Amino acid sequence: MSRIKVHDREFVKSISCEEIAAEVKKVADRINKDYAGKRPLLLGVLNGCFMFVSDLMKNLEIECEVSFVKFSSYQGSETTGKVKKLIGLSESIEGRDIIVVEDIVDTGLTMHKMLETLAESNPASLEIASLFVKPSRLQVSVDVKYSAFEIPDRFIVGYGLDYDGLGRNLPDVYDVVE
């Protein structure tokens, strides 16, 4: 099925689950190499990250841990530009190698604030792995060390990403039809 409807909008398939799997594996291979001999803590940013974290971790061969935080700025398909408070961080990250795992970096405001907040707890290192980045939308400078796909300024759903709560279950990724 290449065309679907989510709520009131039409979407067309743009990235297949096979392409996603191949790119996620490449990101994992880089992390395996860069963190050899270390034990990074992957900090998944809910809700959108859950499929990416799962597939990424299955491809990690190094010792690693996972935890989840929540920090959302989106409602519907328009960014509010407002970033809310970070919740869910129960363990100490001081002296740890942290990889923040995000579904998509859009304006970059969420990740910017996230890095600022986490840096206060003095981790040994702090990097971002994001499945998607929309470079043309960035409003602040954010260094995404591990990104699987750079995409144009289009709203997408699937593989964990939603449009107003729906579409997260789709194995492939779909672009909105304008």
Nearest to 31 by CA among 21, 42, 46: 42
Among the listed residues 106, 162, 172, 175, the single catalytic one is 106
**Residue 120: is it exposed, middle or buried by C-beta count within 10 angstroms (0-12/13-18/19+)?**
exposed
The residue within the footprint of ligand IMP, chosen from 148, 161, 170, 173 (CB under 6 A), is 161
Q: For this structure, is 106 an active site residue?
A: yes
Least distance between ligand IMP and beta carbon 59 (Å) = 21
Report if residue 156 touches ligand IMP, rule: CB under 6 A.
yes
The three-class DSSP label of residue 13 is: strand
The CA–CA distances, whole Å, from 89 to 68, 82, 107 equal: 7, 20, 23
Report if residue 117 touches ligand IMP, rule: CB under 6 A.
no
The token pair that represents 51 in the structure block: 């499929």
Report if residue 48 touches ligand IMP, rule: CB under 6 A.
yes
The residue within the footprint of ligand IMP, chosen from 53, 55, 107, 118 (CB under 6 A), is 107
Q: Which stretch binds ligand IMP (CB under 6 A): 1-9, 31-39, 52-60, 98-106?
A: 98-106
Q: Which stretch binds ligand IMP (CB under 6 A): 5-13, 25-33, 86-94, 99-107?
A: 99-107
Beta-bridge partner residues of 128 = 100
Sign of CA dihedral 35, 39, 42, 43: negative
The residue within the footprint of ligand IMP, chosen from 14, 24, 96, 102 (CB under 6 A), is 102
Report if residue 121 touches ligand IMP, rule: CB under 6 A.
no
Sign of CA dihedral 29, 34, 38, 40: negative
Helices (H), 4-91: 17-34, 50-58
Report if residue 101 touches ligand IMP, rule: CB under 6 A.
no
Q: Which stretch binds ligand IMP (CB under 6 A): 14-22, 53-61, 97-105, 117-125?
A: 97-105
Residues with active-site annotation: 106
